[in-house]
């Protein structure tokens, strides 16, 4: 809890802006203690994402009993979406399950536009990966965000013109 408080204080962000990622291996430890801490943080507005879902000690019980807001689909399922029907079936199933439980899905490791399209069709609500941007220094990231706002604005204007 102290670490979270320090991060919030240092960065100046609100609790509603913070998503903590946890892995399935965390649940093997003291479930009661973990659940208590998660509930305390959740009451403060902090959200949780289950990272690398399906690659560890997967159990649907974790999703049912812990206060999760997002399920992150591991990149191992994303990489071969276009050539492995089983990967696509897993992604669709996880996205459907998450949606039914009121959770978002984050697909990790998107590198190809085709994968992005397939993931959107499969029901994934958020994507991350090199297709959207690579790790960068703070100054580069701020410039990237500024440029993205311009691109989104132009895209919105073009869509609005097409509708008119």
If asked whether residues 67 and 100 sit together in one domain, one would say yes
- Residue 101's pLDDT band, with cuts at 50, 70 and 90, is very high
Instruction: Round to whole Å and give the CA distance between 111 and 148.
Output: 18
If asked whether residues 86 and 117 sit together in one domain, one would say yes
pLDDT tens digits along 118-155? 999 999 989 999 998 888 888 888 888 888 766 554 44
- Is residue 104 predicted with pLDDT exceeding 90? yes
- Residue 156's pLDDT band, with cuts at 50, 70 and 90, is very low
Q: Which residues are catalytic?
A: 108
Three-class SS state of 71 = strand
Most confident of 8-12, 111-115, 157-161: 111-115
Quote the pLDDT of residue 118: 93
If asked whether residues 100 and 145 sit together in one domain, one would say no
If asked whether residues 23 and 52 sit together in one domain, one would say yes
If asked whether residues 118 and 61 sit together in one domain, one would say yes
If asked whether residues 117 and 157 sit together in one domain, one would say no
- Is residue 79 predicted with pLDDT exceeding 70? yes
If asked whether residues 59 and 79 sit together in one domain, one would say yes
Domain count of the chain? 2
- Is residue 32 predicted with pLDDT exceeding 60? yes
């Amino acid at each position: 809890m102290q670490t979270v408080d320090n991060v919030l204080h240092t960065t100046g962000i609100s609790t509603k802006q913070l998503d903590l990622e946890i892995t399935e291996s965390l649940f093997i430890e003291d479930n009661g203690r973990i659940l208590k801490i998660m509930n305390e943080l959740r009451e403060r507005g902090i959200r949780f994402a289950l990272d690398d879902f399906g690659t560890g000690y997967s159990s649907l019980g974790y999703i049912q009993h812990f206060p999760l807001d997002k399920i992150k689909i591991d990149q191992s399922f994303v990489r071969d979406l276009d050539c492995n029907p089983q990967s696509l079936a897993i992604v669709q199933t996880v996205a459907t399950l998450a949606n039914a439980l009121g959770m978002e899905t984050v697909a990790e490791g998107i590198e190809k536009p085709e994968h992005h399209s397939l993931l959107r069709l499969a029901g994934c609500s958020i994507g991350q990966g090199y297709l959207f941007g690579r790790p960068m220094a703070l100054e580069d990231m701020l410039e990237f965000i500024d440029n993205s706002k311009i691109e989104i604005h132009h895209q919105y204007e073009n869509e609005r013109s097409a509708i008119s």
